[in-house]
Amino acid sequence: MPRIPAAERRAALVQAALRVVATQGVAAATTRAIVAEAGMSLASFHYAFSSRDELMHELISFVVAHEEAAVLPGPYGDASLRDIIRAGLQRYADLLRADPLREQAMLELTQQALRSEGMEPLARLQYDHYYTLAAAALTTAAEHTGTSWILPVEEVARLLVVLTDGLTVSWLVDRDDAAAASVMDFAADALAGLGRQS
């Protein structure tokens, strides 16, 4: 292996760890599995990171920072608030169907953080990030439809995250697309009901 700056090596290991966690779960993300995925030797791992915990910490920070707002953005046209929300949820569902293991990995990493001494703040950061992304998307959607939220947008954002979280878990368990569609219909109706023409 050529000499690679430590920073690059760290990044490569984080990427490899994410792939291992997604395909095989957190429990299978041993240092050996990670370096194998990255095509490195075991010693290189500890040259870049002082411990496996340090990598997991950085991995969670990484996924938190790079989680995109995949839910609401999209071409709005002259769609209603309800339809914008429904379409956004559909985009998320499509993403989930396309890469279920990735979303499963996100859930596992959250729980891993909640169980690891000193990493709970990372889980909180992860969800704060979700709420922020959701609030931004909901604000844009409201603006495009000339509506305003009858609750603080932060509360609506939390509802959206709660609904997508629950949707994710239930779909991962039984992969029932029809049931998921029913949930999304309900969610779009209910959330749009929190908007008023202004």
Is residue 173 a contact residue for a second copy (CB under 8 A)? Answer: yes
Our CB check for a second copy shows the closer of 141 and 167 to be: 167
Pick from 128, 125, 180, 188: nearest CA to 160 = 188
Is residue 107 a contact residue for a second copy (CB under 8 A)? Answer: yes
Here's the x/- map for a second copy, 52-91, by CB under 8 A: it reads as ----------------------------------------
Cα separations in angstroms, 84 against 71, 87, 147, 159, 171: 10, 5, 12, 16, 22
Instruction: Provide the Cα torsion 43, 45, 50, 51; round to 10°.
Output: -110
Is residue 174 a contact residue for a second copy (CB under 8 A)? Answer: yes
- Distance, CA of 38 to CA of 20 (rounded, Å): 10
State the residue for tokens 């993403």. Answer: 95
Residue from 1, 2, 7, 27 binding a second copy (CB under 8 A): 27
Helical axes 120-145 vs 153-174, angle rounded to 10° = 110
Is residue 118 a contact residue for a second copy (CB under 8 A)? Answer: no
- Which region among 9-17, 22-30, 38-46, 91-99 touches a second copy (by CB under 8 A)? 22-30
Pick from 140, 134, 165: nearest CA to 70 = 134
- 3-class secondary structure, 80: coil
Residues making contact with DNA (CB under 7 A): 1-6, 9, 30-33, 40-47, 50-53
Residues making contact with a second copy (CB under 8 A): 24-27, 104, 107-108, 110-111, 114-115, 123-124, 126-127, 151, 155, 158-159, 161-167, 169-170, 172-174, 179, 182-183, 186, 189-190, 193-194
